[in-house]
Amino acid sequence: MSSIKIHQDTIKPGENKVVSLNTYELPTKTKIEIPIHVFRSKHAGPTILLSAGMHGDEINGIEVLRKIITRKEIQNLLCGTVIAIPVMNTVSFLYQSRDLPDGRDLNRCFPGTKNGSLGGRIAYDLMKEIIPLIDVGIDFHTGGAKINNYPQLRCNFDDATSLKIAKVFSPPLIINSVYRDGTLRKEAAKKEKPILVFEGGESLRFDYQSINEGMNGCLRLLHHHKMIHDEIPPNPFVKLTKNVWVRAKLSGLFHIAKPNGAYINKDDVLGAICNPFGQVEARITSPFDGYIVGVNNQPVVNQGDALIHIGTED
Ligand SMILES: [Zn+2]
**Would you say residue 294 has pLDDT above 80?**
yes
| CA of residue 275 to ligand 1 center, whole Å | 32
| CA of residue 145 to ligand 1 center, whole Å | 10
| CA of residue 204 to ligand 1 center, whole Å | 11
| CA of residue 313 to ligand 1 center, whole Å | 24
| CA of residue 70 to ligand 1 center, whole Å | 23
Q: Average pLDDT for residues 74-90, to the nearest whole number? A: 98
Specify the number of domains making up the chain.
2
Q: Average pLDDT for residues 229-254, to the nearest whole number? A: 94
| CA of residue 91 to ligand 1 center, whole Å | 15
Q: Which of residues 238, 256, 281 is at a domain's end?
A: 238
**Whether 308 and 247 share a structural domain:** yes
The 3-class SS string of the chain reads: CCCEEECCEEECCCCEEEEEEEEEECCCCCEEEEEEEEEECCCCCCEEEEEECCCCCCHHHHHHHHHHHCCHHHHCCCCCEEEEECCCCHHHHHHCCCCCCCCCCHHHCCCCCCCCCHHHHHHHHHHHHHHHHCCEEEEEEEECCCEEEEEEEEECCCCHHHHHHHHHHCCCEEEECCCCCCCHHHHHHHCCCCEEEEEEEECCCCCHHHHHHHHHHHHHHHHHCCCCCCCCCCCCCEEECEEEEEECCCCEEEEECCCCCCEECCCCEEEEEECCCCCEEEEEECCCCEEEEEEECCCEECCCCEEEEEEECC
| CA of residue 54 to ligand 1 center, whole Å | 6
| CA of residue 210 to ligand 1 center, whole Å | 14
Q: Which residues surround ligand 1, an ion (CB under 5 A)?
A: 55, 58, 141
Give the model's confidence band at 240: pLDDT under 50 very low, under 70 low, under 90 confident, else very high: very high
**Would you say residue 148 has pLDDT above 80?**
yes
pLDDT of residue 116: 95
**Would you say residue 280 has pLDDT above 90?**
no
Q: What is the Cα–Cα distance from 130 to 53, expressed in whole angstroms?
A: 16
**Whether 152 and 279 share a structural domain:** no
| CA of residue 59 to ligand 1 center, whole Å | 10
pTM over 0.85: yes
Q: Average pLDDT for residues 261-282, to the nearest whole number? A: 95
**Whether 226 and 258 share a structural domain:** no
Per cent of the chain over pLDDT 70 is: 100
**Would you say residue 28 has pLDDT above 80?**
yes
Close Cβ partners of 96 (under 8 Å, ≥ 6 residues apart): 56, 57, 204
**Whether 213 and 285 share a structural domain:** no
| CA of residue 52 to ligand 1 center, whole Å | 9
**Amino acid residing at 114:** K
| CA of residue 202 to ligand 1 center, whole Å | 9
- Nearest-CA neighbor of 52 among 162, 256, 179, 215? 215
- Nearest-CA neighbor of 177 among 205, 202, 149, 201? 149
**Whether 248 and 230 share a structural domain:** no
Residues 157-200: tens digit of each pLDDT:
999 999 999 999 999 999 999 999 999 999 999 999 999 999 99
Q: Average pLDDT for residues 109-132, to the nearest whole number? A: 98
Say if residues 16 and 40 touch (Cβ distance below 8 Å). Answer: yes
Q: What is the Cα–Cα distance from 171 to 237, expressed in whole angstroms?
A: 6
Q: Average pLDDT for residues 268-286, to the nearest whole number? A: 94
Q: Which region among 60-64, 79-83, 276-280 has the lowest average model confidence (pLDDT)?
A: 276-280
**Would you say residue 314 has pLDDT above 80?**
no
Tell me which residue range forms the domain holding 257: 242-312
Give the model's confidence band at 144: pLDDT under 50 very low, under 70 low, under 90 confident, else very high: confident
| CA of residue 282 to ligand 1 center, whole Å | 31
**Whether 133 and 9 share a structural domain:** yes
**Whether 153 and 175 share a structural domain:** yes
CATH, residue 268: 2.40.50.100
| CA of residue 97 to ligand 1 center, whole Å | 11
**Whether 136 and 259 share a structural domain:** no
Q: Which of residues 238, 260, 289 is at a domain's end?
A: 238
User: Exposure pattern of 238-274 as b/e (b: 16+ CB <10 Å)?
Assistant: bebeebeebebeeebebebebebbeebeeeeebbbbb
**Whether 217 and 258 share a structural domain:** no
CATH, residue 163: 3.40.630.10
**Whether 84 and 184 share a structural domain:** yes
**Whether 106 and 157 share a structural domain:** yes
Q: Which of residues 186, 216, 238 is at a domain's end?
A: 238
| CA of residue 12 to ligand 1 center, whole Å | 32
| CA of residue 88 to ligand 1 center, whole Å | 11
pLDDT of residue 1: 78
**Amino acid residing at 231:** E
**Whether 159 and 278 share a structural domain:** no
| CA of residue 197 to ligand 1 center, whole Å | 9
Q: Average pLDDT for residues 252-263, to the nearest whole number? A: 97
